[in-house]
Amino acid sequence: MTDEHAETPIDDPLVAARIEKYRAGAERGGYPYRFDRTDLAAELHERYADLEPGAETGVEATVAGRLMNVRDMGRLAFGVLQDVSGRIQLFVSKAVLGDEGFADFLHLDSGDWIGATGEVIATRKGELSVRVSSVTLLAKALRPLPDKWHGLKDVEARSRRRYVDLMVNEDSRAVALTRARVISELRRQFEDRGFIEVETPVLLSQATGATARPFTTHHNALDIDLSMRIATELFLKRLVVGGIERVFEIGRIFRNEGVDSTHNPEFTMLEAYQAFADYTDIMDLIEAVFSAVAVAATGSAALTYQGRLLDLTPPFRRARLIDLVAEAVGEDVSMDTPIEQLRALASRRGVAVDASWGSGRVLFEMYEELVEDGLWDPTFVTDYPKEVSPLARAHRDDPELTERFELVIAGSEYANAFSELNDPFDQRKRFEAQAAARAAGDDEAHPVDEDYLRALEYGLPPTGGLGIGVDRLVMLVTDRKHIREVILFPTMRPEQ
């Protein structure tokens, strides 16, 4: 065949036959550049829900979509047309279309994009249909659809060829649409509260604001190495310094780390900062936002996740991290517990501790190892040790702790928030402690951000801030247990 189609697998007889039809169509006048549709499938189903079997409406409709299936009865055929809203049956009869028109319809292949016009009717069996009087082939599908019953199941193929997954697996379409609803609702929740949406840089000379390894790249014209952001935190707080008192960003974050059921190297985070608020205000805010998102996505704040009831109706449980650890180990612990005693307790419970860690880090690790997995109902885990919270403000009642919380649902973290550290002197000390950890070999410790310190020196008002993992939130409301199911094109090694 010609070089023009060298990349298509014309050795495959299924494809070769379709290419022939494609060329015949091209020679017969080509394919349209646009098409006027009057109705979506779902709109017709809604409007004519009560049509009696055999009823004729006298109303003409023009629909368009992908032809998914044809059932040929001889002088009558039924087609299934799928558009973005759903499916509608095409009632195709030789009596209406004539011999040639009917033959042309049967000449179509499943997968083709078509437009069809005709009267809206209900068949004798009661199926709402368009009784087709004219058909237009809008675009030819050269490749066959997967099995009409089993669809495309292979996880790798579904991820790599999401377009095929979307056309044949209704679940995948539903997740994609729900994700859009979640993000839309998140945006609405924050906008309605007066938050201003901004965009901050992805390319940075130094990635800060979280404990993570960045991707690095190079800017040729400037001849400088750049990192991709691992958080938006410090830029958003600079904007609060600048006077944007309520600010948020929904943006892609990049972390150069492994891929597993809850981690993709690029993922979506929402961060928001509210001047004059503390972390208890942020808890109230998160409760309202999470329940609203659940309702927007599923119709109810009470969900089923992985077969188990999960109620996101406020208020959520609030529990101090230290109290949860004490409960788990069966004895009182606090920041005053001697470090040797904490280490002994940790190792007795199988929690590995590093000699360089202080009490705060040991308690934090014990929480992560012994407590977090077991928290099913939404829980604000509060008052994290200062040692593991370099950007959170010291707790007003205990200088060894911070006013920080994480929201844990079904054993995983969904949000991280604090009363923001706004004291430039304290912030510098925290950065220096991080720098020391970095020097000691912790390459995920935060670097010192001098410009951020300079911003704090102009004055950050008392501020509450939060970060929400959007992908995980979508997983929660769509009942998916793998992040790749909620990311349309998850990160994968190249094929071949």
Partner RNA sequence: GGGCCGCUAGCUCAACCAGGCAGAGCACUCGGCUCUUAACCGAGGUGUUGUGGGUUCGAUUCCCACGCGGCCCA
Residue of the chain from 63, 120, 141, 145 that contacts RNA (CB under 7 A): 145
Residue closer to RNA (CB basis): 362 or 394: 362
Binding of RNA by 124 (CB under 7 A): yes
Binding of RNA by 331 (CB under 7 A): no
3-state SS class at 317? strand
Residue of the chain from 42, 55, 70, 295 that contacts RNA (CB under 7 A): 70
| Contact region with RNA (CB under 7 A), list: 152-160, 301-309, 319-327, 433-441 | 152-160
Binding of RNA by 488 (CB under 7 A): no
Residue of the chain from 39, 113, 115, 129 that contacts RNA (CB under 7 A): 129
Nearest to 493 by CA among 268, 258, 229, 262: 258
Contact criterion met (CB below 8 Å) for 364 and 317:
no
Alpha carbon distance, N-terminus to C-terminus of the chain: 25
d(CA 169, CA 147): 11
The DSSP symbol for 127 reads -
Residue closer to RNA (CB basis): 155 or 288: 155
Residue closer to RNA (CB basis): 245 or 257: 257
Residue of the chain from 95, 222, 355, 439 that contacts RNA (CB under 7 A): 95
Residue of the chain from 151, 314, 358, 461 that contacts RNA (CB under 7 A): 151
Which residue spans within 199-238 are E strands per DSSP? 203-204, 216-219, 224-228
Binding of RNA by 80 (CB under 7 A): yes
Binding of RNA by 457 (CB under 7 A): no
Q: Mark 398-432 as b/e (b = at least 16 C-beta within 10 Å).
A: bebbbbbbbbbbbebbbbbbbbbbbebeebeebbe
3-state SS class at 484? helix
Residue closer to RNA (CB basis): 109 or 185: 109
The site that binds RNA (CB under 7 A) totals a number of residues, namely 55
**Residue 257 CB: number of other CB atoms within 10 A?**
15
Residue of the chain from 8, 85, 110, 334 that contacts RNA (CB under 7 A): 110
Binding of RNA by 71 (CB under 7 A): yes
- CB within 8 Å of 382: residues ≥ 6 apart: 279, 318, 319, 320, 321, 403, 404, 405
Residue closer to RNA (CB basis): 155 or 224: 155
CB of 495 to RNA, least distance (A): 6
CB of 371 to RNA, least distance (A): 16
Residue of the chain from 20, 46, 147, 199 that contacts RNA (CB under 7 A): 147
Whether the link from the prior residue into 461 is cis, omega within 30° of 0, is no
H/E/C letters for each residue in 412-449?
EEEEEEEEECCCHHHHHHHHHHHHHHHHCCCCCCCCCC
Residue of the chain from 28, 34, 150, 218 that contacts RNA (CB under 7 A): 150
H/E/C letters for each residue in 60-97?
EEEEEEEEEEEEECCCEEEEEEEECCEEEEEEEEHHHH
Residue of the chain from 82, 117, 159, 172 that contacts RNA (CB under 7 A): 159
CB of 131 to RNA, least distance (A): 8
* Residues in 249-288 that interact with RNA by CB under 7 A: 258-261
Binding of RNA by 132 (CB under 7 A): no
Residue closer to RNA (CB basis): 155 or 180: 155
Residue of the chain from 155, 177, 309, 344 that contacts RNA (CB under 7 A): 155
**Residue 42 CB: number of other CB atoms within 10 A?**
14
H/E/C letters for each residue in 374-386?
HCCCCEEEECCEH
Phi-psi region at 410: left, alpha or beta (left = phi > 0; alpha = psi -120 to 50):
left
CA distances from 4 to 27, 32, 113 (A): 15, 21, 22
x/- letters, 14..33, toward RNA (CB under 7 A): x--x----------------
Residues engaged in binding RNA (CB under 7 A)? 11-14, 17, 69-76, 78, 80, 89, 91, 93-95, 109-110, 123-127, 129, 143-157, 159, 258-261, 482, 484, 492-496
